[in-house]
Amino acid sequence: MQEQAIHWKSAANTRIPYRLYVDEATSALEQERIFRGNTWNYLCLEAELPDAGSYRATYAGSTPVVVVRDADGEIYSFENRCAHRGALIVLDKAGRADDFQCVYHAWSYNRQGDLTGVAFENGVKGQGGMPETFCKQEHGPRKLRVATFCGLVFGSFSEDVPDIEEYLGEEICARIERVLHKPVEVIGRFTQKLPNNWKLYVENVKDSYHASLLHMFFTTFELNRLSQRGGVIVDDTGGHHVSYSMIDPAAKDDSYRNQALRSDNERYRLKDPSLLAGFREYDDGITLQILSVFPGFVLQQIQNCLAVRQVLPKGIAATELNWTYIGYADDTPEQRKVRLKQLNLVGPAGFISMEDGAVGGFVQRGIAGATDMDAIVEMGGDHAGSSEGRATETSVRGFWKAYRQHMGQQAADA
Amino acid sequence: MIDLLQLAAFNAAYAQAIDSDSLEQWPGFFTEDCHYRITHVENEAQGLPAGIVWADSRDMLSDRIAALREANIYERQRYRHLLGMPLVEAADEGTARARTPFVVVRTMHTGESDVFATGEYHDRFVRRDGRLLLAERVAVCDSTVTDTLLALPL
């Protein structure tokens, strides 16, 4: 494997080699060093595993995994791969099970992922069967460490990854707690197939610079302007971030009009403004908070519209984006209706996120033939720390800081 | 009595409005207090209420078209709806319930055509001033996955 293929021009993360989005060797290494490395992968919500035996089949990167609640109330996760020949153990996306059996040769597993049964282990009528030396305890799918935080279930293949709270850090923990402070309920799930490398979507999430430029809806209706009060938090590793802002009519200044931007269109008004008629539910006045956890988790609060997103690589130029829309379990019918309406802002047809599904593809197509060149990520300088302003790419640089750390591509490569 | 032929003719006009880029006509197929939602079979089976698009008024549908025309960025594309025969579940003078299967082929500006969505409309029709209108249309897609984005209505 030719790791040297990626040439970072400097120790700073202001120039991103386009080759990173198209390189086979990089893609394979990411699976090993990031998704099966010292990271926590978001798997599902605890709310999706309500009872003993509730399970979901999902992925850690491209590795299929099962996550399941056992009778002891604990959540377990293991690779969705039969120890025998490697077939998927679980075929359904979700369900309830006392145990699991591979359909191929009926090898069975308990809810903790232990191999418990081998069909015809002792042969048939004294013929065949497994050798006496075969020990079931020594075989089984790989198990993941599981950690839960505020109802989010994470899994890791690493024994060395820090505990989840340490991994997230105090500031990120506090910002997750702010939204997931009481039990949630799933109100819908949608998947988008994106025509681009997974990193382009993660960068887009972290890029507070593009939001009010690409998304006219945001700007015109005062949901998010760079001139609003808010900020960007980047944790010490660089990998996690929070971008937040507060709707503030006083922020509607001339900074946009002066640049004659397409996104500032005074004539555009809603005939049915109930779409944006939210209610105040957080004391701190923050009306928008986008939070990401390295490598591929996003928690979103856009007014009263709450969702988690899971970003999964599906080869070099394909990404699966799984949206899980949530409300609080104690929502009134009126509150739930507000969330359903505001969900028009996000997802595959979202007034403010429709474009995010496409821009990654624009880059993926744009960089063909330029794979020896670099992207420029220099808004706000070259640091990757927190920032009060949001006309910055600081959290994008943070992503690359963490990425290079995990991939072993630090300054030594420069 | 609302009959099969009336429903089929309604659907033909509905599909034609979208497929010929006469999107401004589209809200006119609905009542003022309509419900329109795009979802998929798994959400529907589990009773999960959210939609890719979720509207409870004709004005919200008009706003969506205005956003497509003025605000949203998406590559030029058009649809071809192929609608099956409505399965009429109930009908009388002024109302009807029906299910109609659809296939929507999307042609991008590059010239490529792909099956973008298949599924079933779950409809509730009413007659207002002699005209058939949709009081409710839930487009239940067979696939749980949307390719890139959904811009035009189904």
Q: What is the pLDDT of residues A231-283, one digit of tens each?
A: 999 999 999 999 998 876 555 544 444 444 444 444 567 888 888 888 999 99
Task: Please choose, from the candidates B39, B75, B81, the residue with its C-alpha nearest in 3D space to the C-alpha of residue B148.
Answer: B75
List of chain A residues with pLDDT < 50 = 1-3, 253-266, 412-414
User: A212 to chain B, minimum CA–CA distance in Å?
Assistant: 12
Q: Give the per-residue pLDDT at A156.
A: 98
User: A38 to chain B, minimum CA–CA distance in Å?
Assistant: 30
Q: Give the per-residue pLDDT at A413.
A: 42
Q: Which of A272, A300, A336 to mutate to test the interface with B (most CBs of B within 10 A)?
A: A272
Contacts of B49 in chain A (CB under 8 A): 187-188, 336, 340
Q: Give the per-residue pLDDT at A273.
A: 86
Chunked into runs of 10 residues, chain B (154 residues) has average pLDDT values of 96 98 98 98 98 98 93 93 98 97 96 97 96 98 97 97
Answer whether A268 sits within 8 Å of B74, measured CB to CB.
Answer: no
Answer whether B48 sits within 8 Å of A358, measured CB to CB.
Answer: no
Q: Give the per-residue pLDDT at A229.
A: 81
Q: What percent of chain B has pLDDT over 90?
A: 97
Residue A32 in tokens: 């090993």
Q: What are the φ/ψ torsions at residue A51 (nearest 5 degrees)?
A: -125, 165
Digit-coded pLDDT (tens) for A286-312: 999 999 999 999 999 999 999 999 999
User: A355 to chain B, minimum CA–CA distance in Å?
Assistant: 6
Q: For the residues of A163-218, what is the DSSP string, one character each?
A: PHHHHH-HHHHHHHHHHSSS-EEEEEEEEEEESS-HHHHHHHHH-TTTHHHH-HHH
- Chain B CB within 8 Å of residue A270 CB: yes
Q: Pairing relation of β-strands A184-194 and B145-147?
A: parallel
What radius of gyration, in Å, describes the C-alpha atoms of chain A?
Answer: 23
User: A27 to chain B, minimum CA–CA distance in Å?
Assistant: 21
Q: Give the per-residue pLDDT at A262.
A: 46
Question: How many CA within 13 A on the CB side of residue A131?
Answer: 2
Q: Give the per-residue pLDDT at A250.
A: 52
Point out the residue among A217, A325, A351 whose CB comes nearest to the CB of B50: A325
Residue of B nearest to A263 (CA): B71
Q: Give the per-residue pLDDT at A146.
A: 98
User: A191 to chain B, minimum CA–CA distance in Å?
Assistant: 5
Q: Residue written as tokens 């505001």?
A: A342
- Chain B CB within 8 Å of residue A363 CB: no
Q: Give the per-residue pLDDT at A267.
A: 56
Q: Give the per-residue pLDDT at A214.
A: 83
Q: CB pairs below 8 Å between A and B: how many?
A: 119
Digit-coded pLDDT (tens) for B20-45: 999 999 999 999 999 999 999 999 99
Q: Give the per-residue pLDDT at A50.
A: 97
Q: What's the start-to-end Cα distance of chain A, in Å?
A: 19
Q: Give the per-residue pLDDT at A223.
A: 52
Q: Give the per-residue pLDDT at A220.
A: 63
The complex scores an ipTM of 0.96
Q: Give the per-residue pLDDT at A211.
A: 74
Answer whether A325 sits within 8 Å of B70, measured CB to CB.
Answer: no
Answer whether A272 sits within 8 Å of B149, measured CB to CB.
Answer: no
Asked whether the beta carbons of B52 and A347 are under 8 A apart, the reply is yes
